[in-house]
Chain A
Amino acid sequence: MDEKFFSRLNQYRTLWVLVFFDLPTETKKDRKIATSFRKKLLDDGFAMFQFSIYTRFCASRENADVHIRRTKMNLPPKGKVGIMSITDKQFGMMEIFYGKKVVEQEKPSQQLELF
């Protein structure tokens, strides 16, 4: 079907939420808090992009707000956490390398996916 019938779901409207964090892991208690923060991100549908960088695809601004709010509610007492959201268009322009080799960008989640 024509693109014009699906304007509500284009790459400028859909967003990626990125969460970056540096959490203290000196004591056993700190490690426990850090693990629980990471687990809650996973439960919320975030996937690891790199150690301590997690990403999640969101179909709309409203949906992204929900997940940002949830992450804020789970913030650990110590440590630095950054939350950023960018459009799918911007996310798709990221270049990724393994060594000097360029790797394929991970495909954004599609509204319809065929397995």
Chain B
Amino acid sequence: MIKRTLFFGNPAYLSTKNEQLLVSFPDDKPDRTVPIEDIGMLVLENQQITITNGLLCKLTARKVAVVSCNAQHLPNSLLLPMQGHTEQTERVRYQLEASQPLKKNLWQQTVSAKIKNQYSLLKEKGKESKRMEYLYKNVSSGDSGNNEAQAAAIYWQALFDIPDFNRGQNGIPPNNLLNYGYAILRAVIARALVSSGMLPGVGIWHRNKYNAYCLADDIMEPYRPYVDLVVAFIVENNDDIDELTTELKKELLAIPALDVMIDGQKSPLMVAASRTSSSLFECFAGIRRKIVYPDYG
């Protein structure tokens, strides 16, 4: 089921009582409680938040992705349980023993699904590109033709009506919105992977030794266009996007609840992420050959 996202932008004291998350405020506002098992993601943004260890343990036991933000209000860390699945060790072994050809095949599927979703998003916005269609239909094993980058070059130029827009960590807005949205998405995907008993650090393609979430970065690729959709929506409806206000964050934090089509069924993105991660495990275990990705078109 879809889990709830809680965002803490104000000072608060977080503890636990009766298997609930208990929120106490420094002013006279009454306490609030939230069932821990209903929570999927907790974003701790304010620097004046105190959280008890008892609560942290209960949150991780329920596989809540706890995201804490730095003084610049940007997502900084992601807390996940050591043990995410009862068969964790066996599942990790399948993941680690996956052959190179299998990984290349999985990466091919991933890139193809990503470009297809990018293409569909552009098409919906009336900015169709025949070249993109060619690119997603002709991804080679391991994406040796680097179709991903070719598609990205076309995609980012076409998506926003901003001259010389380039996607980059420190680029001009709406890069700030994209960074935030992807951080949320990454937390959702990493949470799903851990729940399926996999190591989010060992990727199928990404292998940067400084990256702790290589697999999450692989698997989130076909989901990125959904973040882009939300960001494009914000850009079209807001004059000022230079600053990441709470209002804008609210829009971005709705991403886990966004409807996506997966396997012919409409479901919230967070639920779809679990479908994807369990199908990925089945690919590693040799039970199936295709990862289930959402289809924007």
Contact = CB atoms under 8 A, between A and B. Distances in A.
A54 B251 CA distance: 32
B18 A43 contact: yes
22 contacts: A1-B230, A5-B259, A6-B258, A7-B266, A8-B257, A9-B2, A39-B18, A43-B18, A44-B19, A44-B35, A45-B19, A45-B35, A59-B1, A59-B2, A59-B38, A109-B4, A111-B4, A112-B7, A113-B7, A113-B34, A114-B250, A115-B10
A42 B18 contact: yes
Contacts of B254: 1, 6, 111-112
A110 B3 CA distance: 10
Interface of B: 1-2, 4-10, 12, 18-20, 23, 32-35, 37-38, 230, 233, 246, 250-251, 253-254, 256-259, 266-268
Contacts of A6: 254, 257-259
Contacts of B7: 112-115
Contact of B233 (A1, A39, A47, A111): A1
DSSP class of A's interface residues: helix, strand, loop or mixed? mixed
Interface size, A (range) = 20 to 34
A90 interface: no
Contacts of A104: none
A115 B230 contact: no
A115 B45 CA distance: 10
Interface of A: 1-2, 5-9, 39, 42-45, 47, 56, 59-60, 62-63, 109-115
B63 to A, nearest CB: 16
A47 B6 CA distance: 18
A7 to B, nearest CB: 6
A110 B6 CA distance: 9
B19 A43 contact: yes
Given A47-B33, A109-B34, A112-B250, A5 B5 contact: no
Given A5-B258, A47-B33, A56-B35, 4 more contacts: A44-B35, A45-B20, A109-B34, A115-B6
